[in-house]
Structure 1
Amino acid sequence: MTAPPATGSAPTADALHRIRVRTLWVLSTGQILGGIAFGATASLGAVLASRISGDDSLSGLALALVTLGTAALAVPLARLAQRSGRRWALSIGMMIALAGVVVVVPAAALRSFPLLLLGFALIGAGSTANLQTRFAAADLATDSSRGRDLSVVVWATTIGAVAGPNLVGPGEALGQLVGMPSLTGPYLFTIAAQLLAIALYLVALRPDPLLLAQHLVRAETVDATRVAREDRPRLARYAIITIAAAHGVMVSVMAMTPVHLVHHGESLNVVGIAISLHVAGMYGLSPVFGVLADRLGRITTILIGQVLLIAALLTASFGQHSTSAVTIGLALLGLGWSASTVSASALLTEASSESHRTRRQGRSDLAMNLVAALGAIGAGVLLGGLGYGGLALCGLVIVALVVVLTPFARR
Structure 2
Amino acid sequence: MILEDRSALHHRTISVVMASQVFSGAGLAAGVTVGALLAEDMLGTSSLSGLPSALFTAGSAGAALGVGRLSQRLGRRAGLTAGYAAGALGGAGVVVAAAIDNVVLLLFFLLVYGAGTATNLQARYAGADLVEPGRRGRAVSSVLVATTIGAVIGPNLVSVTGRIAARWHIPPVAGPFALAAVAYAVAGTILFLLLRPDPLLVSRTLNASTPAAAGESAGPPARAGVTAGAATMILTQLVMVAVMTMTPVQMKAHGHDLAATGLVIAVHIAAMYLPSPLTGLLVDRVGRIPVAVASGITLLAAGVVSATAPDDSVPLLTVALALLGLGWNLGLVAGTAMITDAAPPETRAKTQGAVDLCVALAGAGGGITSGLIMAATSYSALSIGGGVLALAVIPFVIANARRPLADPHLGAN
Could you state the TM-score of these two structures normalised by the residue count of structure 2? 0.93
Partner of 1:172: 162
Structure 2 residue matching 1:183: 3-state secondary structure: helix
| Aligned: 1:379 with 2:370 | yes
Alpha carbons of 1:303 and 1:175: their partners in 2 closer, same or farther (altered >3 Å)? same
CA offsets per residue over residues 219-262 of structure 1, 9 Å max, x none?
A: 23677689779842112111101101101100000000000000
Partner of 1:288: 278
CA offsets per residue over residues 314-350 of structure 1, 9 Å max, x none?
A: 1111115233222211000000100111011011110
1:214 to 204, 221, 235: 204
Alpha carbons of 1:393 and 1:206: their partners in 2 closer, same or farther (altered >3 Å)? same
1:311 to 277, 297, 301: 301
| Aligned: 1:404 with 2:395 | yes
The one-letter code of the counterpart of 2:351 is: R
Distance in 1 (CA, whole Å) between partners of 2:278 and 2:19 is: 19
Alpha carbons of 1:182 and 1:173: their partners in 2 closer, same or farther (altered >3 Å)? closer
Is the 8 Å Cα contact of residues 17 and 123 (structure 2) preserved in structure 1? Answer: yes
| Aligned: 1:330 with 2:321 | yes
Partner of 1:26: 16
Q: After TM superposition, give the deviation of residue 109 of structure 1 in Å.
A: 1.8
Distance in 2 (CA, whole Å) between partners of 1:303 and 1:228 is: 30
Distance in 2 (CA, whole Å) between partners of 1:187 and 1:51 is: 15
Partner of 2:361: 370
CA offsets per residue over residues 115-155 of structure 1, 9 Å max, x none?
A: 11111110111111111101111111112211001001011
CA offsets per residue over residues 46-69 of structure 1, 9 Å max, x none?
A: 000000000100100011101000
When structure 1 is superposed on structure 2, of 100-109 and 131-140 the one drifting more is: 100-109
When structure 1 is superposed on structure 2, of 399-408 and 309-318 the one drifting more is: 399-408
Q: After TM superposition, give the deviation of residue 169 of structure 1 in Å.
A: 1.3
Partner of 1:85: 75
The one-letter code of the counterpart of 1:405 is: F
Q: After TM superposition, give the deviation of residue 180 of structure 1 in Å.
A: 3.1
Is the 8 Å Cα contact of residues 57 and 380 (structure 1) preserved in structure 2? Answer: yes
CA offsets per residue over residues 291-323 of structure 1, 9 Å max, x none?
A: 000000111111111111111011111115233
Is the 8 Å Cα contact of residues 57 and 111 (structure 2) preserved in structure 1? Answer: yes
The one-letter code of the counterpart of 2:20 is: G
| Aligned: 1:102 with 2:92 | yes
The one-letter code of the counterpart of 1:396 is: G
Partner of 1:139: 129
Could you state the TM-score of these two structures normalised by the residue count of structure 1? 0.94
Distance in 1 (CA, whole Å) between partners of 2:221 and 2:160 is: 50
Question: Which ranges of structure 1 fall in alignment gaps of 5 or more residues?
Answer: none
CA offsets per residue over residues 68-89 of structure 1, 9 Å max, x none?
A: 0000121121111011000010
Partner of 1:115: 105
Alpha carbons of 1:268 and 1:393: their partners in 2 closer, same or farther (altered >3 Å)? same
Distance in 2 (CA, whole Å) between partners of 1:302 and 1:73 is: 25
When structure 1 is superposed on structure 2, of 394-403 and 44-53 the one drifting more is: 394-403
Is the 8 Å Cα contact of residues 140 and 227 (structure 1) preserved in structure 2? Answer: no
CA offsets per residue over residues 371-404 of structure 1, 9 Å max, x none?
A: 1111111100111111100001111342132112
Distance in 2 (CA, whole Å) between partners of 1:226 and 1:34 is: 34
Distance in 1 (CA, whole Å) between partners of 2:397 and 2:213 is: 32
The one-letter code of the counterpart of 2:331 is: S
Structure 2 residue matching 1:140: 3-state secondary structure: coil
| Aligned: 1:359 with 2:350 | yes
Is the 8 Å Cα contact of residues 35 and 53 (structure 2) preserved in structure 1? Answer: yes
The one-letter code of the counterpart of 2:308 is: F
Q: After TM superposition, give the deviation of residue 204 of structure 1 in Å.
A: 0.2
Structure 1 residue matching 2:174: 3-state secondary structure: coil
Structure 2 residue matching 1:57: 3-state secondary structure: coil
Distance in 1 (CA, whole Å) between partners of 2:390 and 2:278 is: 22
Partner of 1:343: 334
Is the 8 Å Cα contact of residues 152 and 269 (structure 2) preserved in structure 1? Answer: yes
When structure 1 is superposed on structure 2, of 348-357 and 205-214 the one drifting more is: 348-357
CA RMSD of aligned residues (A): 1.8
Q: How high is the sequence identity, in percent, across the aligned residues?
A: 36
The one-letter code of the counterpart of 1:289 is: T
Distance in 1 (CA, whole Å) between partners of 2:221 and 2:159 is: 49
When structure 1 is superposed on structure 2, of 101-110 and 36-45 the one drifting more is: 101-110
CA offsets per residue over residues 189-214 of structure 1, 9 Å max, x none?
A: 22322221121111100000001111
Distance in 1 (CA, whole Å) between partners of 2:337 and 2:133 is: 9
When structure 1 is superposed on structure 2, of 347-356 and 291-300 the one drifting more is: 347-356
The one-letter code of the counterpart of 1:317 is: A
The one-letter code of the counterpart of 2:240 is: M
| Aligned: 1:40 with 2:55 | no
Is the 8 Å Cα contact of residues 268 and 321 (structure 2) preserved in structure 1? Answer: yes
When structure 1 is superposed on structure 2, of 334-343 and 178-187 the one drifting more is: 178-187
Alpha carbons of 1:226 and 1:133: their partners in 2 closer, same or farther (altered >3 Å)? farther
